[in-house]
Amino acid sequence: MTTLTGHLTDLQIWLAQRPKWFMIALIGFGLGLALIFPQISSLYFLSLVIEVLIFAIFAMSLDLLLGYTGLASFGHAMFLGLGGYIVAYISSRSDLALNLTGNLLITLPAVMLGTALLALVVGLFALRTTGLYFLMVTLAFSQMLFSIAIRWSGVTGGSDGLAGVARPSIGFEPVSYSFNSRASFYYLVLIFFILTWWLLRSIVNSPFGWTLRGIRENEARMQALGYNTFRFKMAAFVIAGAFAGLSGMLLVQFFRHASPDNLYWTVSGQVIIMIIVGGTGSLIGPILGAAVVRLFPQFVSSYTDRWETLLGLLFILFVLFAPKGIMGVLRAHPSSLLVREKKSSS
């Protein structure tokens, strides 16, 4: 453990000493690698990266609530599932004119507005509670939607879900483009991922975002200063729901199947694990957590059938030794680590 801490310290000091242009070049290298990835990767690894990017969008949307506003929602899967069902239902309507069933100009506004409206309704009830009660109310709403999806088979397809979801397209005939290939769909998801990160980063670094941080730290004090904290929490809840719906749309378009399992409480639990592993209060943390939680089972399951046990052990190790997640380890100030290392050596 001491050796690992020493290596992390050396890495932090090395990064801290790099000039600004080096970090810009590093970001540029990452974007360049992302752009050429379909050309140098197999379809299997390309599919894994697409999943990671989609769940990273999902995790970032929840971190706006959990990490920045202090709202621990255990029903965030309801927005993921609803977003998927909306685009799947539109795709199942063969009577729609002009073949718009997969057109992003139709599906994207419908999904984000639909999930935002659901978040508004749920928030009117859930945000009147706090702490454990808020967690249980959001869980209850998610399970209610799961039950409706199972029983309302005429619309949702019941336990079988809705299959044959149309691949996304954009534009109108004769000028239109369909994202049928795996590579083109990857670029579409990458664009949405970058836009989501940029928009959420702009939000959390704005006065609105700093107000959310104040609510997380001390809501009573923010109310005493004259802030209507309910409205701020409602706005954050609606924004998070809309972006979670976007991830649900992409997930269903990728697998071409909308399942009621996307509404189940285990999906909400999985995204919470992603945020805890990656680190709350940082948009980079959920991305790292999504990569770990989605990729770890894929690689470990090739060697053992007990990958779920190993994933549980990994989660326990993070809780015990890195409670602030991967970003918490990387954020540790190099000088403080050096001080502790000197004290331990003396």
Peptide bond preceding 168 in cis form (omega within 30 of 0) = no
Give the pLDDT confidence score for residue 339 in this predicted structure: 37
**So what's the pLDDT on residue 91?**
80
Output the pLDDT for position 154: 84
Q: What is the mean pLDDT of residues 142-170?
A: 90
Residue 343 CB-density burial (10 A; 0-12 exposed, 13-18 middle, 19+ buried): exposed
The pLDDT of 184-193, averaged and rounded, is 95
Residue 284 pLDDT > 60:
yes
Q: Is the pLDDT reported for residue 272 higher than 50?
A: yes
The residue among 118, 133, 132, 31 whose CA lies nearest residue 78 is 118
With 50 as the cut, is the pLDDT of residue 297 above it? yes
Q: Is the pLDDT of residue 344 over 50?
A: no
The bridge status of strand 175-178 relative to strand 169-172 is antiparallel
Domains, in order of start, for the chain: 2-345 (1.10.3470)
Residue 281 has what pLDDT? 86
Quickly state the pLDDT bin for 2 (edges 50, 70, 90): very low
pLDDT at 137: 95
Both structure tokens of 334: 């190099």
The arithmetic mean of pLDDT across residues 262-281, rounded, is 91
pLDDT value at residue 82: 96
Amino acid at 89: Y
**H or E element in which residue 251 lies:** helix 229-255
Q: Does residue 71 contact residue 77 with C-beta atoms inside 8 Å? A: no
pLDDT per position as a tens digit, 61-112: 999 999 999 999 999 999 999 999 999 988 876 555 444 567 898 899 999 9
CA distances from 122 to 28, 156, 239, 334 (A): 40, 21, 13, 43
Please give the helix or strand (H or E) that residue 15 lies within, else none. Answer: helix 2-16
CA atoms within 13 A on the CB side of 310: 15
Q: What pLDDT is attached to residue 336?
A: 40
Instruction: Check residue 335 and give its pLDDT.
Output: 42
- Note the helical H segments in 17-130: 20-40, 43-66, 77-92, 104-126
pLDDT at residue number 258: 92
What is the number of other CB atoms lying within 10 angstroms of the CB of residue 312? Answer: 12
